Structure 1
Amino acid sequence: MLTSKRLMAVVLIAASGLFGGCAVNPVTGKNEIAFVPESQELAIGQKNYGPYRQAQGGDYVVEPELSQYVKSVGGRLAKVSDRKLPYEFSILNDSTPNAWALPGGKISINRGLLVELDNEAELAAVLAHEIVHAAARHSAQAMERGVFLQGALVAAGVALGGTDYRDVGMAAAGVGAQLTNQKFSRGDESEADAYGMQYMVRAGYDPAAAVRLQETFVRLAEGKEADWLSGLFASHPPSRERVAANREMVAKLGNPGGDVGQARYQNAIARLKRTKPAYEAYDEARTAFKDGKLDTAMAKVDRAISIEPKEAAFYGLRGEIQAAKNGDKSALKDLDKAVALNPDYFRPLLVRGYMRQEAGDTGGAERDLKRSLSLLPTAEGYYSLGNVAARQGKESQAIGYFQKAATSSSNVGKAATKRLAQLDLNKNPARYVATAMGLSKDGYLVVKIANEAGVAVRNVRVVVGPKSINGVRKQIEFGIDRVLDAGKAVQVKTDLGPMSVSKARGYGAVVSNAELAR
């Protein structure tokens, strides 16, 4: 019999054998166990980079030259990094001061952080920090810790009796879904600070900017400014200890000085600073819209447009407000403008597709919704596309779309479950009405019938008998003589028995019929 210590040793060895290998960290030079190969890092970053940007406001496209400027600063640093990756840099259209890196060197910085920085060296400090997170495999290591723990649990489950592990969710919600806002360890943050400053020196920037940046972060954190606390601080918590460590690192580097680029940076973000009030009004409009204050929301978004008339997000929001107020053609006009200004952002396409579907324009709706889903898979998009397919008489396609939407636990997911039942219940009742088996105290089979269809059902019939390769071989069949409401269950004691537990395990039950209770 294995002791607990020996069992754990077996578990760790099994997990290491399944996933592990030794590698030298390209940044620190330390030997470490690497479970995630570089090919998987690159694949995860590539797969998630687009959807994550979409989910966080999309790219800031008003000023292509500003995006190019940030890419040039990032490229200058990437050239001197210790690990050559396909680095990419983007600006997200979000007011929250934040920046993040995915495995494989996919890096984003928010519009809201750019306006808080003072010079190019501070921008370099942010980007170098994120480059190190990617180059030193910090995100991959966080994944590995999760994989290792899961691997250990699976191995222990095999040894101790079995556990069921399931990964349920929409696209882009599996491995790596929390990587952009994860809390790195203190060691990871220290490494990203220290090696990031070394990268700054190699690229010719003044590393003292990293000290000034952390001092600003600490001051804002101590002031508990809400926007900052919900942004960069969530994943990169500042502290006075980090300021002191960064200052020591600058001294260790010999106080080299270097490029600061204040005038260059201020010129690059001049328009962003000038239009900051527009984005503040837009954020206030979004809050008012969410709270149902439509007139306030409209006034705020109109002010935003008057300041920055080339921002697609403003017209997209105004279109949603118009649709909520009266759903007239003015809403479509604003959504058309939003799509024209930024054809690569999912939200206005999704809303316009929904409106076209409601108006009976199934062709236009289908184009918009498919394009929206290609940018960011959403329950709303799949649900609306299911309705389009159903209206076109494409029942099998509609069922497929509703099935995808139904994986969401949102209200839209629940609505999709109901639509599925309406289309598919008669053909596949066992998908929506579940069964479970048990034994009564006197040894007779008991069947539990649970309605998971999301709608009330009637005329439920259940087949019970020995399990076979094709399912259940009918021995008895019974019906439920009542309407079974959504989420409700009943238990039926059969006349099969008495029998032993081992014999009962050879029996199964399946729902053979169920109808909507209209």
Structure 2
Amino acid sequence: MGIHSLFSVLLVVLLSGCAINPVTGKSELALYSMPENEEIALGKKAFPEAVQRMQGEYNDPGLKNYVTAIGMRLAKVSHRPDLPYVFKVVNDSSPNAFAVPGGNIAITRGLLVALENEAQLAAVLGHEVGHVTAKHSVQNLQRGVLLNIGLQVLSISSSGTSYSALARQAGQVAGALLESSYSREEEREADRLGIDYMVKAQYSPRGAVELQEFFAKKSGEGEPQWVQGLFRTHPFSRERMRDNQEYIDSNYSWALHNETYGSGEGDFKRAMAPLLKTSEAYNDYDKAREKEQAKDLAGAIGLYEQAVRKAPQQALLQSALGMAYLKNNSPDQAKKSLSRAVQLDGEYYESHFGLGYLYLRENNPALAKEHLQKSMKLMPTLGSAFFLAESYELTGEPAKAHALYGQVAGADPSGNLGRSAAARYRALGGAGRR
């Protein structure tokens, strides 16, 4: 084959791997040009687990509606206004925000409480909308090793009641999206798009300036939560801050002192008031988690109890206290706290997992199965899969138990749970096939 023919073949290969950037309208080289419907489907599968990994959704309907209204105000003036956008506040103390393909965007409690006005919040959400419209999350998957797994997630349906290959794959995609870091160029593009969107939505671009100045301060302080949170996935630099200031000066200086483009400080403070009342309790919660990680379980329980006294209506605090009691071999206290957590908010996997385990140990497999199935639906884990299989075994459903033990054994062949599951799988071999 001659040089000309080789070039022609290469050109065909390259062109077949090009995708149109929705923001720039330019053709870009891509390993796989993901159609919008697949991008949306992938986001719908990965986003719920990403939220669970970030301690679940913060349960405040008023705050959720407020954040959603701001997010949608930005999304409607973006390059992709017709995506099915979803905005959530996740109950994680680390300051962060993230976007999942297809229009799924979250901001953490830890970042939200650090902001001062609505324009700053619009700058954060506008930046994340920019990541979505420019398909940065999809590009991150393509640069990594998870594109094929993401495509498999789209091609398989799940019942949500077993620890299937799909569940593990969806978890891998969610984890990769949370852990992946954007390039400097992607951050710069998302910054500019976010500024464009917030001005189109009639927010003052001063909010973006204030946000970058605040980030510069936090970057200089080197606080672990910021280093491990926002700055790990969204690299910050003073050069980036200067670029944003120059972009605003060049394009939107006229909006800086225009009263039509406001900060929304009053509305922001009203929406944030209930959340700020829980701040002290969550400070205790953060300290308790540190003690728990340091194996000081008694100290952790003391701080969790203190946090619950300050904010007894916060389900995550009740759940954390219940799980600590469980580790401390205090089942009655654990059951009380975990039951309260589920009563306050039944959409966090860990509370159901803890209750399912407790009911199993109390020889109440029917109730155990109910909670473990819910835990698996919210976020499949090896532990919940194993104990759900045990529940099936005890409720006279050997075929379900056999299948689920087999999946756990296959997913964790060298681990304790995997080996135990393999033993039960073999023991149920005949009964499981009936």
For the superposition of Structure 1 and Structure 2, which TM-score range results when normalised by the shorter chain?
0.7 to 0.9
Q: Which has the larger share of strand?
A: 1
Q: State the alpha-carbon separation in 1 of the partners of residues 425 and 147 from structure 2.
A: 41
Q: Which residue of 1 aligns with 2:277?
A: 274
Q: State the alpha-carbon separation in 2 of the partners of residues 95 and 37 from structure 1.
A: 35
Q: Which residue of 2 aligns with 1:387?
A: 390
Q: Which residue of 2 aligns with 1:414?
A: 416
Q: State the alpha-carbon separation in 2 of the partners of residues 252 and 406 from structure 1.
A: 60
Q: 2:402 aligned with 1:399, yes or no?
A: yes
Task: Give the TM-score normalised by the residue count of structure 1.
Answer: 0.73
Q: Which residue of 2 aligns with 1:50?
A: 48
The Cα offsets for residues 357-415 of structure 1, whole Å up to 9 and x where unpaired, read as: 1111000000000011011011111010111122334333222222332344498x432
Q: Is the 8 A contact 2:382 2:417 kept in 1?
A: no
Aligned CA distance change for structure 1 residues 397 and 225 (closer, same or farther; 3 Å): same
Q: Whose Rg is larger?
A: 1
Identical aligned residues as a percent:
37
Aligned CA distance change for structure 1 residues 324 and 142 (closer, same or farther; 3 Å): closer
Q: Is the 8 A contact 1:399 1:420 kept in 2?
A: no
Letter in 1 for 2:241: V
Aligned CA distance change for structure 1 residues 201 and 329 (closer, same or farther; 3 Å): same
Question: 3-state SS of the aligned residue for 1:109?
Answer: strand
How far 1:72 moved relative to its partner? Answer: 1.0
Question: 3-state SS of the aligned residue for 1:101?
Answer: strand
How far 1:284 moved relative to its partner? Answer: 1.6
Q: Which has the larger share of helix?
A: 2
Q: Which residue of 2 aligns with 1:215?
A: 213
Q: 2:329 aligned with 1:320, yes or no?
A: no
Q: 322, 343, 361: which one pairs with 1:340? A: 343
Q: Which residue of 1 aligns with 2:159?
A: none
Structure 2: segments with no counterpart, 5+ residues: 150-164
Superposed, 1:111-260 pairs within 5 Å as: 111-146=109-144, 170-175=168-173, 177-255=175-253, 256-257=255-256, 258-260=261-263
Q: Is the 8 A contact 1:169 1:408 kept in 2?
A: no
Q: 2:35 aligned with 1:32, yes or no?
A: no
Q: 62, 72, 77: which one pairs with 1:75? A: 72
Aligned CA distance change for structure 1 residues 248 and 403 (closer, same or farther; 3 Å): same
How far 1:253 moved relative to its partner? Answer: 1.7
Q: State the alpha-carbon separation in 2 of the partners of residues 8 and 346 from structure 1.
A: 54
The Cα offsets for residues 97-126 of structure 1, whole Å up to 9 and x where unpaired, read as: 000001111000000001111111000000
How far 1:14 moved relative to its partner? Answer: 5.0
Q: Is the 8 A contact 2:406 2:425 kept in 1?
A: no
Q: Is the 8 A contact 2:352 2:371 kept in 1?
A: yes
Q: State the alpha-carbon separation in 2 of the partners of residues 346 and 216 from structure 1.
A: 34
Q: State the alpha-carbon separation in 2 of the partners of residues 46 and 287 from structure 1.
A: 32
How far 1:417 moved relative to its partner? Answer: 2.6
Q: State the alpha-carbon separation in 1 of the partners of residues 178 and 133 from structure 2.
A: 15
How far 1:251 moved relative to its partner? Answer: 0.9
How far 1:267 moved relative to its partner? Answer: 2.3
Question: 3-state SS of the aligned residue for 1:58?
Answer: coil
Pick which of 392-401 and 184-193 moved more: 392-401
Larger RCO: 1 or 2 (CA < 8 Å, sep 6+): 2
Question: 3-state SS of the aligned residue for 1:364?
Answer: helix
Q: State the alpha-carbon separation in 2 of the partners of residues 410 and 312 from structure 1.
A: 34
Q: State the alpha-carbon separation in 1 of the partners of residues 310 and 239 from structure 2.
A: 41
The Cα offsets for residues 455-482 of structure 1, whole Å up to 9 and x where unpaired, read as: xxxxxxxxxxxxxxxxxxxxxxxxxxxx
Letter in 2 for 1:399: H
How far 1:44 moved relative to its partner? Answer: 0.8
Structure 1: segments with no counterpart, 5+ residues: 152-166, 429-518
Aligned CA distance change for structure 1 residues 270 and 175 (closer, same or farther; 3 Å): closer
How far 1:48 moved relative to its partner? Answer: 0.9
Letter in 1 for 2:407: K
Q: Is the 8 A contact 1:87 1:107 kept in 2?
A: yes
Q: Is the 8 A contact 2:98 2:105 kept in 1?
A: yes
